[in-house]
């Protein structure tokens, strides 16, 4: 099943957030009003609203001093439709693989920076594949350009560049680098 749909339902599977949705179904509200009505602290209400906003369930707009939140009814209808149309259990192995990759990436990459180079080869490959996404297919890169792109992720660009070549994520010919076809 689509990972985004699962994430969305995880977002919905929370009593406070469901209460917020119910309240917004009646009328648009700002954070303080919602927090008062639902007996949540304003930072907690704000946290839930931001999560719902990120999932596309609510929208925010500025009104004088307040940020007003509304329910995105269209999105909610589409979500149900998406789930009904999704082919359930179509590729469990792919889902597991995607979940594993995601967990490795979130463990090692924070806000686009590689925290440390993983010790395990399998994890290193996943992380380097992610870095390889910053390279365009068919484009030629000088070594300096390759280093700059990799350095955006981690200072040890030499090690990473060498391993990316070993993993065929990058190909070097006559001093010119290209993204590998893997």
Partner 1 sequence: MNEFLRYLLEKQEHCIEESKKMTEEGREDEAIFEKVRANIYGIFTTFKTPDVAAKMIDVIPKAWHESLAKAIKNNDHEKEAEERIKIAVMEDIKAEFAEAKGDM
| Residue whose pair of structure tokens reads 């889902």 in the numeric block | 95
| Single residue of 2, 16, 23, 147 touching partner 1 by CB under 8 A | 16
Q: Is 147 in the site for partner 1 (CB under 8 A)?
A: no
| Single residue of 1, 2, 14, 129 touching partner 1 by CB under 8 A | 14
Which of 40, 48, 49, 45 is CA-nearest to residue 70?
49
| Single residue of 65, 74, 92, 111 touching partner 1 by CB under 8 A | 111
For partner 1, which is the closer residue by CB, 16 or 147?
A: 16
- For residues 2 and 158, what is the distance between their CA atoms, to the nearest angstrom? 37
Note whether 109 and 131 are within 8 A (CB): no
Note whether 123 and 116 are within 8 A (CB): no
Which of 65, 17, 10, 144 is CA-nearest to residue 2?
10
Note whether 49 and 58 are within 8 A (CB): yes
Q: Is 59 in the site for partner 1 (CB under 8 A)?
A: no
Query: Given the rule CB under 8 A, which of 12-20, 22-30, 76-84, 147-155 is the region that contacts partner 1?
Result: 12-20
Min dist. Cβ of residue 50 to partner 1 (A): 4
| Single residue of 47, 59, 75, 118 touching partner 1 by CB under 8 A | 47
- For residues 35 and 20, what is the distance between their CA atoms, to the nearest angstrom? 9
Min dist. Cβ of residue 43 to partner 1 (A): 6
| Single residue of 13, 80, 88, 92 touching partner 1 by CB under 8 A | 13
2 is written with which tokens? 């689509």
Site for partner 1 in 151-180 (CB under 8 A): none
152 is written with which tokens? 């955006």
Min dist. Cβ of residue 123 to partner 1 (A): 22
- Which residues would be at the binding site for partner 1 (CB under 8 A)? 13-16, 43-44, 47-48, 50-51, 54, 110-111
């Amino acid at each position: 099943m689509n990972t985004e749909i699962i994430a969305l339902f995880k977002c919905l599977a929370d009593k406070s957030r469901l209460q917020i949705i119910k309240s917004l179904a009646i009328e648009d509200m700002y954070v303080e009003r919602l927090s008062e009505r639902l007996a949540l602290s304003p930072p907690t209400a704000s946290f839930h609203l931001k999560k719902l906003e990120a999932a596309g369930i609510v929208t925010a707009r500025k009104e004088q001093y307040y940020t007003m939140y509304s329910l995105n009814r269209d999105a909610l209808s589409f979500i149900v439709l998406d789930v009904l149309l999704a082919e359930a259990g179509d590729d469990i192995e792919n889902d597991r693989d995607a979940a594993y990759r995601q967990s490795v990436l979130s463990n090692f990459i924070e806000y686009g920076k590689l925290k440390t180079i993983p010790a395990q080869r399998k994890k290193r490959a996943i992380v380097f594949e992610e870095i390889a996404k910053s390279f365009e297919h068919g484009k030629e890169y000088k070594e300096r350009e390759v280093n700059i792109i990799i350095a955006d992720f981690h200072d040890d660009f030499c090690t990473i560049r060498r391993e990316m070549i070993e993993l065929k994520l990058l190909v070097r010919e006559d001093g010119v680098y290209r993204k590998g076809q893997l």
